[in-house]
Amino acid sequence: MKKNKYIFWLAFPICLALTGCAENPTEDIVVNKNEGKLEQAIQGENKKDSDASVPEKYTDQFQADGGKIEVSVDASVTGLEGNKPVVRVKPHLITEEEAKRWADVLFEGATAYEPGEKSKTEIEDRILQLKERISDQDKLLEDYGSQEEADRIKKELEEEIKEYEKQYASASDADEKIPCTWEFHPYGYYDDLPMPKSGDANYEGLDKTSQLIAQATVNGHQAMVEVDNREENDYRLNTQWFLYEDEQEWIKEETGTLSKEEAVKQADEIKNQLGMENWKYAEYKASEAENIQNVMVTYTPSYESITAFQGPLIDLKAEDLYAANYYYSSLSIGFENGVLTSVELISPMDVVQIENENVETMDFEEIYQTFKKQAQAQFTESAFLDLDATETGKIQIEISEITEGLFRIKEKSNTEDFLMVPAWSFSGTLRVDGEDWGKQQFLMINGIDGSVINTSLGY
């Protein structure tokens, strides 16, 4: 049986692919455009006994954009200890067996089914649930904080009821669930939609993307596991998801909360159950809105016991000659009100080979001077403020962390795999008129040749 509402998750990366990124200045020293020098350095012998040039702390002050931007560096410095490898990796094709493993763990023993249309009984139950929500005006107001927002939600629920009432006439009398076959299909199979063809205005080549979806009822709620694979030269896609389709309908009934320690502990256990022991903690984020505590714990892969940096959003559709057109690797585990509600795996990689077990890298001071030169060229008022919206303000950049790790880059003219190389990340806080605009990673420097990595394009 076909389904009719699962275009959202593949639409997620496609929508992100349309996100643009700021141009780099002409002074940018771009990796892999140095006529083979990086490749020679990777294959060369490491003549350094050890890297004793890394300080524990570094301080500096300078200006950029003709004095419009103040940059202060008061940063802890963390270098890699021991060997600094260069690792060749390639995109991992997610398999049916991996989808089954996620279902075994995350469906908590519930039977996995093919996505299908709801039966009359299921539609009746759903309509009853929606009407009960609409009838409790006090609860809607409590949940959404204002009468205006409660009225908006009520209208949405009424529209959902109308849609179910339309489906009811053609729905089957019996619950005809089909056990999951664990087979991949061309994207669009589950939606029963005609795929656009090359040349159409909305053509995205989705027919070349394969998809597997399994559903189950977990603790009384509708859950799903989805896998998307794409192996094309325009862009590649390997993602795996677990989520609840109706989670917004019931999550506010949960009242639990998680501390950072509790969330990371639970996420670690889930990660290990999924067979992803080599993925290491990268980030914790928490927020609260409309009586829902949202927590996300993110991991990145490790190579030779070194954790990779978490990359930013990448432009999948970039036409740049050297662009990666492939998302950075991450595993994110989400909780709402203390309940696991999502697991998202993006761009897992396989190790092809170790190119160099301990490559020679530049001294820290050389790396820092490269950062300073690039910052003075790249940090401009227009890069941080929307001048079209007539925004103005005093811009301050505070570099608080300088860290060495592994980062993924694309090799020139190589469409099959990537390199994980030692790199230095410069991160800190952006302030405009004293207001904290959040922590961010400002620059990434290749530790081997000192080239500036364009993290938005992946080279």
pLDDT at 254: 84
For 74: left if phi > 0, alpha if psi spans -120 to 50, otherwise beta; the answer is beta
Report the half-sphere exposure of 372 (CA within 13 A, side-chain side): 14
**What number is the average pLDDT over the span 288-300?**
92
Q: Round to whole Å and give the CA distance between 329 and 314.
A: 11
User: Considering the chain, what is the average pLDDT of its residues?
Assistant: 84
Q: Which of 53-62, 135-144, 169-178, 415-424 has the lowest mean pLDDT?
A: 169-178
Q: Where are the alpha helices (DSSP H) in 92-203?
A: 96-106, 120-135, 137-144, 147-168
- Least confident range from 6-20, 82-96, 132-146: namely 6-20
Domain positions in the chain: 8-16+93-115+178-347, 31-90+358-446, 117-176
Higher pLDDT, 226 or 169: 226
Q: Could you tell me how far CA 146 lies from the centroid of its own chain?
A: 32
Whole-structure pTM over 0.85, yes or no? no
Residues 6+ apart with CB under 8 A from 265: none
* Residue 7 pLDDT greater than 70, yes or no: no
Q: What is the pLDDT of residue 20?
A: 33
In the predicted model, is pLDDT for residue 168 greater than 90? no
Residue 21 pLDDT greater than 90, yes or no: no
Which pLDDT score, from 0 to 100, does residue 225 have? Answer: 97
If you average pLDDT over residues 8-21, what whole number do you get? 36
Provide, rounded to the nearest whole percent, the portion of the chain with pLDDT above 90. 51
Q: What is the C-alpha to C-alpha distance for residues 444 and 423, in angstroms, rounded to an integer?
A: 7
Is the pLDDT confidence value at 213 over 90? yes
Note whether 216 and 103 are within 8 A (CB).
yes
pLDDT of amino acid 94: 98
Average confidence (pLDDT) over 196-219: 72
For residue 339, the number of C-alpha atoms closer than 13 Å in the C-beta half-sphere is 17
CB 342 within 8 A of CB 331: no
Q: Which residue(s) pair with 367 in the sheet?
A: none
pLDDT tens-digit profile of 415-441?
889 999 999 999 999 999 888 888 999
Least confident segment among 32-46, 260-274, 352-366: 32-46
pLDDT of res. 327? 93
Q: Which residue has the higher pLDDT, 144 or 227?
A: 227
